[in-house]
Structure 1
């Protein structure tokens, strides 16, 4: 089958445009990596673009030798795992319940969920609530609030609604309860949407810092994003930096933000390829109603 000249032109233009989008997307991150490995003089003079100039890893050594950095890193891993599991369980149970048309008050539960997409209590009422519940300066102030994303909930609800009811009816005839049907029939068939929701929640919780900024005061409880935030704001300085020579301090201050950014985002980049194959199929299955 021969392709027309117009189609060839369209394909060429499409390739050029997509390559441009890829370049614009990757350039900031590649530039940050290059800055994290460059010398202070090259960074200050603005000569660093895609490749490091004056290769230097002193700042990596300083940051990675900082006990607080690794403590905050561990906190982020713990917060992300716990918060993602809580979010996944609550979202799955809520989405499955409101996807069943036989549920009494289904419209009310959907309305309550959608209402929170447009209206919320605000920062001060939320702060008072967290404080009154005794969750200030604890992990639960990070993992409990905003545990359910309504967007993710509606996507998962649409996915469950597209599943054949005959499967659940057959399982009910075999004697399975509602929870048995969810765990033994629905969940094994929902790997794509579960992996997608896992990615959404994990990335959101990993990158979150504002809740820690509001509810945590102990530096040893901070996530690594707060460590990065303090670096960017200039309110944090490691003991190694303070003890270094003037030249070393100048080098470290010039690219410590880039180094911390690279170390913070690296785990997500390592995890993403393993769940990417579920991403497109999960979102499409959950966003299109047959």
Structure 2
């Protein structure tokens, strides 16, 4: 029997909806502001103050300048390589590590987990990492942003927990049929863990796409800059002159503002497009990976 809502319940529900709407606005508005500003007329935008509810005029000049900039295209190429190669390395290494650590008959399994969890709280720091990267010959290479970060401890724990939730009877039946560990992992465990795999793809892809700090430390050649380093240079160093070279000094300053916003959109939209394809797996994957310790 459906219980009748009281006045207090309605007020409480209304308060919850109000808070959620406020959070949505606070979260979404910065992105909308950047979007509106990127399509705005540079002259109108530079004199505008306060909240921006729609594009001021309409202009695609900023996007034309961004697309015509070879640095943006080079950054895209390098970032796509980092995401594709890094994602492949991350998924393979994390799956292998999670499979071994999820087996109950592995010697010193709990001891290994203690050492792995230890790295979440204590690490050598940036200088020892730099020396290691330099010592193995990865300095000034795109692989310097991939190999040292092959496994995330947090993601490894999530995937291990998910693998532990798969019934042992499936593994035992496969062994009776002559399956080895690689067959069990790639033909039984992983197909049954696709929600968690989808979550790992999202976590690792976003991390690789947005990564800029270690790239700024390990990469010195401009032709190897990932997209986020190019974006950082444009935003922080105010380096938009090359994209507005045909304009006068005053116009360059105005166009430069819209170019910054257009560059942010160009660098942000692709990774946002991935989320709808994995969203249906997201909640289930996180919950499956958090049920058991």
Distance 1:237 1:12, change over 3 A: closer
Look up the SS of the partner of 1:79 in the other structure.
helix
List per-residue Cα deviations over 1:87-135 (Å, max 9, x = no partner). 1111111111111110012122211211110111111111111111111
Q: Is the 8 A contact 2:46 2:254 kept in 1?
A: no
Q: Structure 2 stretches of 5 or more lacking a match?
A: none
* Structure 2 Cα separation of the partners of residues 201 and 139 of structure 1: 16
List per-residue Cα deviations over 1:157-177 (Å, max 9, x = no partner). 111111111111111111111
* Structure 1 Cα separation of the partners of residues 40 and 238 of structure 2: 23
Q: Which residue number corresponds to residue 4 of structure 1?
A: 5
Q: Structure 1 stretches of 5 or more lacking a match?
A: none
Q: Which residue number corresponds to residue 110 of structure 2?
A: 107
Deviation at 1:287, TM superposition (A): 0.6
Distance 1:240 1:9, change over 3 A: closer
* Structure 2 Cα separation of the partners of residues 13 and 99 of structure 1: 44
Q: Which residue number corresponds to residue 19 of structure 2?
A: 17
Select between 96-105 and 42-51 the one with higher mean Cα deviation: 42-51
Q: Which residue number corresponds to residue 236 of structure 2?
A: 233
Distance 1:252 1:48, change over 3 A: farther
Q: Which residue number corresponds to residue 28 of structure 1?
A: 30
List per-residue Cα deviations over 1:38-96 (Å, max 9, x = no partner). 23333443245131113222111111111121111111111111111111111111111
Equivalent residues in 2 for 1:49-128, closer than 5 Å: 49-128=52-131
* Structure 1 Cα separation of the partners of residues 230 and 108 of structure 2: 45
Computed over aligned residues only, the root mean square deviation of the Cα atoms, in angstroms, reads 1.6
* Structure 1 Cα separation of the partners of residues 226 and 243 of structure 2: 20
Q: Is the 8 A contact 1:231 1:257 kept in 2?
A: yes
Q: How many residues align?
A: 290
TM-score normalized with structure 1 length = 0.95
* Structure 1 Cα separation of the partners of residues 169 and 249 of structure 2: 73
TM-score normalized with structure 2 length = 0.94
Equivalent residues in 2 for 1:1-290, closer than 5 Å: 1-5=2-6, 6-40=8-42, 41-234=44-237, 236-237=239-240, 239-289=242-292
Deviation at 1:22, TM superposition (A): 0.9
Q: Is the 8 A contact 2:240 2:256 kept in 1?
A: no
List per-residue Cα deviations over 1:186-209 (Å, max 9, x = no partner). 111011000000000000100000
Distance 1:255 1:180, change over 3 A: same
Deviation at 1:13, TM superposition (A): 2.1
Look up the SS of the partner of 1:153 in the other structure.
helix
Look up the SS of the partner of 1:145 in the other structure.
helix
* Structure 1 Cα separation of the partners of residues 100 and 155 of structure 2: 14
